[in-house]
Chains A and B, each alone.
Chain A
Amino acid sequence: MFIIRKIVLVSTINAVVTPALQADVLPGVSALSETIVRESAIAFVNTTASPGLEGATLSVNDGAREQWRSSLGFAAEFTLKDYIFNGYWGLALVGGSLNDKFELTGDDGQLVQFDLTRDVVALRGSFGLSFPVNQYLKIRPYLSLSVSDLQTEILVDGLLTTGPIENTTTTAVFNTKAQMLSTIGSVEALYSRWYGDNRLELSAHYHLIHTDSFSEDNPVLQTKALNDVFQLKSTFSGPTGLTSIGRPWRWLAYANHTNFLSQDKFSLGYTSLFEFGVGMEWRMNIKPLDWFGWQMLGLRAGVITSKDVEGFNVGLTGR
């Protein structure tokens, strides 16, 4: 008979790693490798804070993982007189959370249950150029710097502790923090064409992400990584005949695909997403600070799906 004692350890994972078990993140659970911990943490940050991602609420593997992300940001081009190319800049504040429940078999054959919660807040700035190939096509390379603050809480149930008479299982909580600096090189190809009053927009996006991770309380997250993300986006929009304050509303339908190319499925349970939705755009056409054009404010609602993910996206967009 096991006596289950609940204890709470607000400490680091490293604190329970003995010198002889440096390869193990958690003694007695060698199935939880450093690779899993690193890649899942970086994958979470990448799937939250990468450029081109919009808000989402995701349920992975029948509810075993729940993830959401939300962002408040703006991007715009600015004219460089006497040059064919334009400048491009963007700023975004991003937040997200992940709850992940999973089980591993301990080294002594016992079932170890994990309840992991990650929260991230990131600030991202982008700067680059936009090259108009012709009236319809632009190529836009840009560089982004993103600073993320990642907090993780892991509740582990089923760890074995050795007692004088018998082994007992315990529950432990580990809290860790990490700061991640991501340098992201992006290239986008944007095509748009009008058919009467209707407009078709197609774009392809590639992001190469170099992440430097720093953690004072978890050496496993003292690491670097290189990942890449590919996106295809399409939008079709048309007039509605509705106006507000003299400005027209347009309807839109969109379909997007995001593929986290270098992400292993074990990290978050998925590697790609499809999103389909509809929305409305209000062409407010203002110029904040008399500096850059803010054409529209929109409301979108979409469903997100893939082989391993179901979710939705409802949110405001601006352009």
Chain B
Amino acid sequence: MLLICTSIISAACVQPVKLKGEGYVLIRSNYPILYFNGEQIEPAYRLDIEAGENTVVIVYNTYQHDYYCTFSWTAVANAVYEVTDQENQYPLTLYRWVRTNSLWASRLDPVDPLDCIEQEKGGELI
């Protein structure tokens, strides 16, 4: 019984991510993605993008400053990437997200942003 319950619960936990299609990549972020490959977009928390060299700008908001962090990396087909704040050297870090099993996922291959531009609150990225 315990095994069945555990299986049901765990199956409902970490699910494989459905991608848009073969060769696509999903990037999801805890903070809004503002620019994709140089183009300003509607603020988004997840994007389906094509594999290959990509660049995104994500804003990390604080009460004193906004930090516009630029990530440029080679996205591997059918992979999932995740951007989050983990109090690393930069406000945000990009990880490759991998479903390990039903109970947990792993954050691998950390990528620091090329830079994080600090702006006064209310300012805009130029």
* A and B bind: yes
A286-B14 Cα distance, complex, nearest whole Å? 12
- In A79-105, the 8 Å CB interface with B consists of 79, 81, 84
A306–chain B nearest beta-carbon distance, Å: 30
Given the complex, which residues of A lie within 8 Å of B72, measured CB to CB? Answer: none
A93–chain B nearest beta-carbon distance, Å: 20
Contact of A286 among B87, B89, B104 (CB under 8 A): B104
Contact of A134 among B14, B64, B89, B95 (CB under 8 A): B64
Cβ–Cβ contact B63 & A289, under 8 A: no
A194–chain B nearest beta-carbon distance, Å: 5
Instruction: Tell me, yes or no, whether A295 is within 8 Å of chain B by CB.
Output: yes
Given the complex, which residues of B lie within 8 Å of A246, measured CB to CB? Answer: 108
Cβ–Cβ contact A84 & B103, under 8 A: no
Cβ–Cβ contact A286 & B62, under 8 A: no
Instruction: Tell me, yes or no, whether B67 is within 8 Å of chain A by CB.
Output: yes
Cβ–Cβ contact A79 & B87, under 8 A: no
Contact of B62 among A133, A290, A293 (CB under 8 A): A133
8 closest A-B pairs by beta carbon, nearest first, are: A79-B30, A132-B62, A134-B64, A290-B14, A287-B105, A194-B89, A285-B107, A289-B13
Could you list some 7 contacts between A and B, CB below 8 A?
A: A135-B116, A194-B88, A246-B108, A285-B108, A289-B14, A290-B13, A290-B99
- In A130-180, the 8 Å CB interface with B consists of 131-135
Looking at B14, B60, B97, B107, which has the most chain A CB atoms within 10 Å of its CB? B107
Instruction: Tell me, yes or no, whether B74 is within 8 Å of chain A by CB.
Output: no
Sample of 5 more A-B contacts, CB < 8 Å, known A79-B84, A81-B30: A285-B95, A289-B14, A290-B14, A290-B99, A290-B104
A131-B64 Cα distance, complex, nearest whole Å? 11
Instruction: Tell me, yes or no, whether A288 is within 8 Å of chain B by CB.
Output: yes
Instruction: Tell me, yes or no, whether B65 is within 8 Å of chain A by CB.
Output: yes
Total number of B residues with any Cβ neighbor in A under 8 Å: 32
Interface string of B88-126 (1 = CB under 8 A from A): 110100010101100111111010000010100000000
A293-B104 Cα distance, complex, nearest whole Å? 10
A12–chain B nearest beta-carbon distance, Å: 40
Cβ–Cβ contact B104 & A288, under 8 A: yes
Cβ–Cβ contact A135 & B62, under 8 A: yes
A295-B62 Cα distance, complex, nearest whole Å? 22
Given the complex, which residues of A lie within 8 Å of B35, measured CB to CB? Answer: none
CB-CB nearest in chain A for B107 = A285
Cβ–Cβ contact B63 & A286, under 8 A: no
Cβ–Cβ contact A290 & B65, under 8 A: no
Cβ–Cβ contact A192 & B87, under 8 A: yes
CB-CB nearest in chain A for B105 = A287
Given the complex, which residues of A lie within 8 Å of B87, measured CB to CB? Answer: 192
Cβ–Cβ contact B106 & A287, under 8 A: yes
A79-B61 Cα distance, complex, nearest whole Å? 12
A74–chain B nearest beta-carbon distance, Å: 13
CB-CB nearest in chain B for A201 = B87
CB-CB nearest in chain B for A81 = B45
Given the complex, which residues of A lie within 8 Å of B61, measured CB to CB? Answer: 84, 132
CB-CB nearest in chain A for B99 = A290
A192-B67 Cα distance, complex, nearest whole Å? 16
A285-B95 Cα distance, complex, nearest whole Å? 10
- In A222-258, the 8 Å CB interface with B consists of 246
Given the complex, which residues of B lie within 8 Å of A192, measured CB to CB? Answer: 87
CB-CB nearest in chain B for A287 = B105
A270–chain B nearest beta-carbon distance, Å: 33
Given the complex, which residues of A lie within 8 Å of B67, measured CB to CB? Answer: 135
